[in-house]
Amino acid sequence: MLKLDKLTLDMSADGQIMDSSSRTLEKLEKGNNKNGSVKQVLLDGCVPFSHQVAGHKCGISNTGVLQHPDGTILKQLQAPPRGPREMNFYTQVFAKDCTDKKLLDLQQHLPKFYGTWRPRESPHELYLKLEDVTRRFLRPCIMDVKIGRRSYDPFASQEKREEQISKYPLMEEIGFLLLGMRVYQIDSNRYITHDQFYGRSLGKDSIKNGLTRFFHNGQELRRHAVSLIISKIQSILRWFESQTQLHFYASSLLLVYEGSPHRVNGSKHKPAEPGTEHQQGEPQSNSNNSHETLSFQSSLTHSHPYSEKDEEIGMGDKKQFGQEEAVEVKMIDFAHVFPSNNPDESYMYGLRNLLSTLEQILKD
């Protein structure tokens, strides 16, 4: 059993509970604004993660997931029981002494876990330190898809269940929900983004068009990317079909493919310009590239489940892409994972429906 540090909680001016890291972020953000800084720098040189398309936010400016100077991402531990439950899940799956074959097989479908991290400015707060699966992409196109027929766990109150059902009543029938996406457009050299409200607006007759939009670069449908992502989702489905020990609720798949071909219409492709996003997206700062030149200086007070050298954590230089390297599919968000003794039919239902929809896109 993992021993967790006590989370420090305060009440904000409007009566909402705030943890100390939120207060630290608030102070840093105010300081940055006073100094007129354009790029927000928080907590030991970390910056807001520029590729987040969904998920929990923190801080007064909805900072959300942070990116460490070494290239990894930092996800603040949620309040109990969700945060400790997610940390326990990652710790068990990536434990050095893990001998459970199902958990060992699961590792390939998750972002790598590098333990926990504490900022100097707020040492009592805890962050999960995870692989940035978008880092090796030049122009990552990203979509977060919540999987399963229910987005609440078996211990949720009736009020919570009704709240989740009301957000997307079709979840039980469709089996998945598009939480957010950002897609690189070749013709305009910009990203377009869609948030969870777009996903919730999609019905049975429009969900395929919503998915198709993720794979369209403004000139053509990226059929090869669809095919490669189908293959990776099928591999995840095979894992679920072979295991009966875990059930996943309100968990997502993160789909990523390379939006930057080496050449377009015979001419070399230019990098996207900073600050060129449409709709709900934040300006693309391209901050990932700068991390490769930053020194690795941090007050890390965590254990590494892996034996990789620190400089290898952030993936190093971006790779040239082969067939499989051009896409990535990872399971994320594990605050609602519970032990079981039967197959996770809800999650598998969502995976199969997602696969069926993607396969239909290829047929059209």
| pLDDT for position 78 | 93
Strand partners, 67: 47, 73
Cα 178 to Cα 206: distance, rounded to the nearest angstrom: 12
Tokens encoding 258: 């390379």
In a domain, 97, yes or no: no
Picking from 363, 328, 351, the residue whose alpha carbon sits closest to that of residue 175 is 351
265: left (phi over 0), alpha (psi -120 to 50) or beta: left
What's the DSSP call for residue 126?
-
How many structural domains compose the chain?
Answer: 1
User: β-strands 73-76, 327-332: how paired?
Assistant: unpaired
Which range marks the domain in which residue 345 is found?
133-261+325-363
| pLDDT for position 275 | 39
Q: Are 287 and 39 in contact (CB under 8 A)?
A: yes
| pLDDT for position 362 | 97
Q: Calculate ∠ Cα 79-83-87, nearest 5°.
A: 155
Looking up tokens 């990776």, which residue turns up? 232
* CATH classification of the domain holding 196: 3.30.470.160
In a domain, 164, yes or no: yes
HSE-CB for 19 with a 13 A CA cutoff: 19
111: left (phi over 0), alpha (psi -120 to 50) or beta: beta
Cα 193 to Cα 285: distance, rounded to the nearest angstrom: 15
Residue 162 dihedral angles phi and psi, to the nearest 5°: -65, -35
Cα 213 to Cα 215: distance, rounded to the nearest angstrom: 5
- Three-state DSSP class for 200? helix
In a domain, 77, yes or no: no
pLDDT block averages, 10 residues each, the chain of length 364: 36 36 43 44 78 55 78 94 97 98 98 95 91 95 98 96 97 98 95 96 98 97 97 98 98 96 44 44 35 28 38 43 76 98 98 98 96
In a domain, 339, yes or no: yes
| pLDDT for position 56 | 54
In a domain, 61, yes or no: no
Burial of 11: CB neighbours in 10 Å, binned 0-12, 13-18, 19+: exposed
| pLDDT for position 299 | 30
Distances in Å between the Cα of 363 and the Cα atoms of 140, 231, 336, 360 are 25, 16, 35, 5
In a domain, 65, yes or no: no
Looking up tokens 């069926």, which residue turns up? 356
